[in-house]
Amino acid sequence: QMSNKVCVVAGGCGFVGTHLCLRLLKEGCHVIALDNLCTTHSSNVDTLKRAAEDLPGKFQWVDHDISVPLPGDAISCEAVDEVYNLACPASPPHYQKDPLFTLRTGFQGTMNMLELAKKYDATMLQASTSEVYGDPHVHPQTEDYWGNVNPFGVRSCYDEGKRVGETLCLEYHRMHSVKIRVIRIFNTYGPYMHPFDGRVVSNFIRQALAGEDLTIYGEGQQTRSFQYVDDLIEGMLRMSRNPQGFIGPVNVGNPNEFTVKQLAEQVVSLTGAKSSIRHLPLPKDDPTQRQANISLAKRELDGWEPKVQLKEGLLKTVEYFKTVDMEKYKDHLQQLVSKIEN
């Protein structure tokens, strides 16, 4: 069923944003992607433009930092139906490079997107994160758990930026009746990840394909639940469009829990690599456990649950990484670092 919805996707050319825009274009939506490419590669823009070649006027990329208000002429449509706020550096190396930018994006950027939703009476989906739970004392994590977050550490710019983003959504809903939807995304992986983004899945696959040793921080006994990106996109759309007016927050993740060491062993097995495992010191405030309780999502989002399990998703991601020009992305990483440092 084709749609004529107008959808604004902040962070629309990032890893998750690219998948969301592709899905919306497939539905026939008019998609406006806001992205200044601060942590992503322009090849994702090219991917989206190619997908829209037979859909004239259906895709627009606006080179924009959402922590700055949108220019009046940035959106030419008379109406906007859905706003998706995915914009924010999400991997520790990226968000720790410029913590003030990360905080501005989490606070001012979210406020600007809420103002956009308010202006057009659009539904606004806020992509929050399992990082709001910090290093949890409750396992698995449910939405009523307030978390164990260090507000004065190296990860605080991201964790607290996302927490205040949720608060902004709630207050815009209470004070201005903005139709908010808040999801808490757990570790997600898949094609269009930046191979040098510092996330554990992309690190392991890139290292294995290059014949390098896989680097594990600590002993690798910390746990994560890994969600394939297609399952996330389905959950996002069900949340954004749920007819009950359910605002969340709601966990969207795969509840199957693995240690980081188990993930490394799977990647080595699936790639046929001869890599060994090299241990590095554990980063400060790195969570020891992370597992999604998705009971609320199943109940409120029409039975949503992940369909793609780890082995299948890793195989798809490995095949994608085999097609990637790693040198191009490596050069891009150096450009990003220079841009941030200057």
- Secondary structure of 165-188 in HEC code, one letter for each residue: HHHHHHHHHHHHCCEEEEEEECCE
Nearest-angstrom CA–CA distance, 109 and 87 = 8
Q: What is the dihedral of CA 250, 254, 258, 262, to 10 degrees?
A: -140
SS3 134: strand
CB count, 10 Å around CB of 2? Answer: 8
Is the separation of the CB atoms in 98 and 157 below 8 Å? no
Return the ∠ at Cα 232 (arms to 15 and 163), rounded to 5°.
80
Categorise residue 248: left if φ over 0, alpha if ψ from -120 to 50, beta otherwise. left
User: Which residues lie below 8 Å from residue 309, measured CB to CB, with a gap of 6+?
Assistant: 254, 256
CA–CA separation, 184 and 289 (whole Å): 16
CB atoms within 10 A of CB 91: 19
Whether 158 is catalytic: yes
Sign of CA dihedral 133, 136, 138, 139: positive
Residues 188, 229: contact at Cβ < 8 Å? Answer: yes
DSSP state of 145: -
**84, 133, 158, 172: the active-site residue:** 158
Of 119, 123, 125, 143, residue with least CA distance to 133: 143
> How many helices (H) and strands (E) would you count in the chain?
12, 13
Active site residues: 158
